[in-house]
Structure 1
Amino acid sequence: MNTKIKTKTRTEDMLTIMYVLAWVTFIGLLIHAGAILFSYGVSCVNPEGAKNLYKGMSLITLRQFSLWHYTLSVFLMVTLLSMKAFVFYLVIKVLSKVNLANPFKLELARLLENSSYILLGIWFVAILSNVHTDWLLKKTGVIQGERATEEFIIMAGLVFIISQVFKRGVEIQAENDLTV
């Protein structure tokens, strides 16, 4: 009896590792966003809760300055974290649908293209957050949140280009299927 043993290639192993890491990152971002939202809710009832919003992040000065600006800052933080988590959710979907024997699928191209649009949205929200932070810094001296935005526009562009390559791959693959 001739039995075939299927061995995983290095690429398949790497895709599996990336799939697990994407899940870990997705869950971590959701926990981070949830912890900030929960802490925000507590700080609305008890203003002292703003002293340790998440892992030592203190926005008590901002909370004392203005509840509205405090709420806006927390909203922008949670929005950024949620959008990042959504990108990793799309990465999980892409990685779960990758088939190395037939990699070019329109569904994957669309998921990649949607990821690029979400990354572009993250870039825009990060810019809004930075503008708000800069204004708050002038008024209160309080700095909060992430400051970098460049990587999101670069990632959005790269992922969009990859999605277009996948779309072209789908077209070529369809043409080859028709000629066989």
Structure 2
Amino acid sequence: MKTKSRTEHILTALYVLAWIAFVGFLVEAGALLLSYVISCINPDGAKNLYKGFNLNSDRNMSLWYNTMSVSFLIALAVMKAYVWYYVIRILSKINMVNPFTTDVAQMLERISHLLLSAWIVAMLSGAQAHWLSKTTGDDYHGVPSGDFLFMAALVFVISQVFKRGVEIQSENDLTI
């Protein structure tokens, strides 16, 4: 009977936490979508959306502006869930004997691209919030975007390290 190493225990715990985060962000996206639909049926519902978002003034201004604001929030929640989905796939595919695989390197690179896309969506959300603040006089707060860019760069660097690890590992497999 083989006992698990400390690293394997940590990866197992991270796998469980990744599932929790994945489901949490899916629930967030669903709750935002449901509260948006309710606010379309009952305009007073826009005052207190999921997580306390108050989009009543842009709802009163135009349904289109309200739809855009909520769409950005839903898109970011879905992107975060998708990032965690890739983390789940990475943690389920990682092999402790040969950890550097092309699949893991590619998934890490996809995560970095997804985080970069989330940064773009957050920037667009912030620009729209700034414009709405100037137009309506109300205080709108966009989604913080700097974290997404930082994480995208960090994960991209890690993916490049993994790619190099794959190259070194394959070179070592070829030598006798």
- Identity of counterpart residues, as a percentage? 55
**Are the equivalent residues in 2 in contact too, given 1:76–1:129 (CA < 8 A)?**
yes
Q: Tell me which of 140, 145, 152 is aligned to 1:143.
A: 140
- Which residue of 33, 39, 42 corresponds with 2:35? 39
| Number of aligned residues | 175
* Cα deviation, residue 51, structure 1: 1.9
Structure 2: which amino acid aligns with 1:76? F
Q: Distance in 2 between matches of 1:36 and 1:54?
A: 6
Deviation at 1:155, TM superposition (A): 0.9
In structure 1, give the amino acid aligned to 2:22.
F
Deviations 1:1-52 (A, max 9, x none): xxxx211111111111111111111111110110110111111111112122
Could you list the runs of 5+ residues in structure 2 that have no partner in the other structure?
Answer: none
CA distance in 2, matches of 1:123, 1:90: 18
Alpha-carbon distance, 1:56 to partner: 2.7
**Residue 11 of structure 2 corresponds to residue 11 of structure 1:** no
Instruction: From 157, 171, 179, give the equivalent of 2:175.
Output: 179
Pairing partner for 1:157 from 142, 153, 160: 153
RMSD, aligned CA:
1.1
Q: Secondary structure at the match of 1:6?
A: coil
Instruction: Decide whether the 8 Å contact of 1:77 with 1:145 is kept in 2.
Output: no
Please report the TM-score for the alignment, with normalisation by the length of structure 2: 0.95
Change (3 A) 1:75 1:139: same
- Report the alpha carbon displacement of residue 144 of structure 1 after superposing the two structures with TM: 4.4
Q: Secondary structure at the match of 1:55?
A: helix
Alignment partner of 1:83 out of 79, 82, 96: 79
How far is 1:57 from its partner? 2.2
SS at match of 1:101: coil
Matched, 1:118 2:114: yes
Residue 48 of structure 2 corresponds to which residue in structure 1? Answer: 52
Letter in 2 for 1:143: Y
- Quick check: 1:59–1:144 contact (8 Å CA) kept in 2? no
Match of 1:97 in 2: 93
2:37 and 2:151 mapped to 1: Cα distance? 33
Q: For residue 145 of structure 1, report the CA deviation from its aligned partner.
A: 4.6
Q: Which runs of 5+ in 1 are unaligned?
A: none
